[in-house]
Amino acid sequence: MSKRGLIAGIACASTALVAYFAWQFSFFEYETAIYTTTADRLFTSDHLAKLVPLLLIGLMSAIGIVLCVAVRGWLTRRDPAHAPFAAQRASRSARRIRGRRVSGFMVARWACMVGFFVLMVFGGVILGARFANISIPVLSCPANMSQLTETSCYYLAHLDELATLPWTGIAAFVVSTLGFVLVFGRTLCGFLCPMGLAQDLMHTIRQATRVEGVAMTEDMYQALVPLKWTMLLLMIGLSFAGGNFCNFCPAIALTPAAAGLSVSLYASGFIMVFVLIASFFKRRFFCTICPLGFLMGMANKVQLFRITKDCTACTECGACYEACPMGIRQIYTERACANVTDVNCIMCGECVRCCPEDGALALTFAGKRLYTSKRARVVRGYQRSAHE
């Protein structure tokens, strides 16, 4: 067995062990769990008090990030040969960030993420309605009963409970979940998922503070594949083994706490801290191992949203691969097929935005182009960077 395989095996076994005993690792416990809230309680002192777990996670994440940056700086200072290169690379990264022009597509994507986060946290309370028969497959914690719709996550992680529902309930769950997957695929990850919003915010903070991120290699992405499969198997089968994936999943530490619900956090709280720290240095880290995202990605080749490529216009510059937060190499290496939508693609549009060739890449819906690569967009960004 190779060294990489041994490390991956140990990581997967450790993940499974922690997931099974997640209820033993208490992060923040309430004596009485409350899974609903009301409009009159929003933004009251009682509601703000329920944000304590979220504030603790934010504080611990900030401390962890500062420590990581300090340790990396210390290691860099100890290696004189590496220090100039690291400083130069960080400087280049900062200039590229300042020079980027915000496109209308990216504004729309952020608006969708923020708007959907509000709906997933307060939608049921604000609108006074809840669509309990519609299950949207995004990683928004189903413990939050104040959101507008149900999420598929709970029953996928508790298949034994799904089997106890009447056939009409099972049919509604299957039809609504498959319907959203077949139409949107992992577009839901890039536009709607609250966990995706949290990770993108961490990436934005890193850019604003001009801290150099971690450049992932192909080997590093491959090393995460066994961990991704382990997460998927845990999500689907842990309930049958006597465990509860919800005590392990970091999503329970986000939307329920933001809604002011007293949901106790176990290993999930510690894992959310790790996810936020990792997402600060590597954009969309959790998306690379997210089990629900992987299930949705299986429909990416047949869904209506797709990333298409004009291989004749591609100049093999590699900008798309460098910009992709999921590290999808196919979009760069493909030389024949027009549909380059990979199982890991979250439709964030970063590859399209950074492509310097007119029409080489495009995000399409049912064959209609919604967002197309343009040389002028990239040139304007570099010109703006040069003036600064």
Return the axis-axis angle of helices 83-99 and 52-78, rounded to nearest 10°: 130
272 inside domain: yes
**Could you tell me if 205 and 266 lie in one domain?**
yes
Q: What angle do CA 198, 174, 227 make, to 5 degrees?
A: 45
Q: pLDDT value at position 81?
A: 59
Question: Do 290 and 196 lie in a common domain?
Answer: yes
pLDDT at 93: 42
Q: Which domain holds residue 289?
A: 3-105+190-297
Residues 21 and 12: their CA atoms lie apart, in Å, by 14
Q: In order along the chain (388 residues), what is the average pLDDT of each group of 10 residues?
A: 78 93 94 77 81 94 96 81 50 42 84 92 82 85 85 91 91 92 91 94 94 88 92 92 92 89 93 96 95 90 90 92 92 90 92 93 93 86 52
Q: Is residue 94 part of a domain?
A: yes
Q: Which of 19, 2, 23 is nearest to 230 (CA)?
A: 19
Q: Which two tokens stand for residue 374?
A: 């343009």
Q: Are residues 80 and 222 in the same domain?
A: yes
Q: Which of 297, 320, 345 corresponds to the end of one domain?
A: 297
Considering the domain architecture, whether residues 349 and 309 belong to the same structural domain is answered as yes
Q: What whole-number distance in Å separates Cα of residue 342 and Cα of residue 22?
A: 32
pLDDT in the model for residue 34 = 76
Residue 89: per-residue pLDDT: 45
CA distance 315 to 366: 26
Tell me the Ramachandran region of residue 137: left when phi exceeds 0, alpha when psi lies from -120 to 50, beta otherwise.
Answer: beta
Looking at the structure, tell me whether residues 194 and 285 fall in a common domain. Answer: yes
Last residue of a domain, one of 297, 332, 364: 297
Last residue of a domain, one of 242, 265, 297: 297
**Element at 135 (helix H, strand E):** strand 131-136
Same domain membership, residue 270 and residue 232: yes
Number of Cβ within 10 Å of residue 97's Cβ equals: 14
- Domain containing residue 383: CATH number: 3.30.70
262 and 358 share one domain: no
Give the pLDDT score at 384. Answer: 53
Is residue 147 a contact partner of residue 124, using CB atoms and an 8 Å limit? yes
Does 274 map to a domain?
yes
Q: Evaluate whether residue 282 is within a structural domain.
A: yes
Contacts of 73 (CB under 8 A, 6+ apart): none
pLDDT of residue 98: 42
Q: 362 in a domain, yes or no?
A: yes
Pick from 303, 301, 348: which is nearest to 190 by CA? 348
User: What's the confidence (pLDDT) of residue 88?
Assistant: 44
Q: Are residues 76 and 95 in the same domain?
A: yes
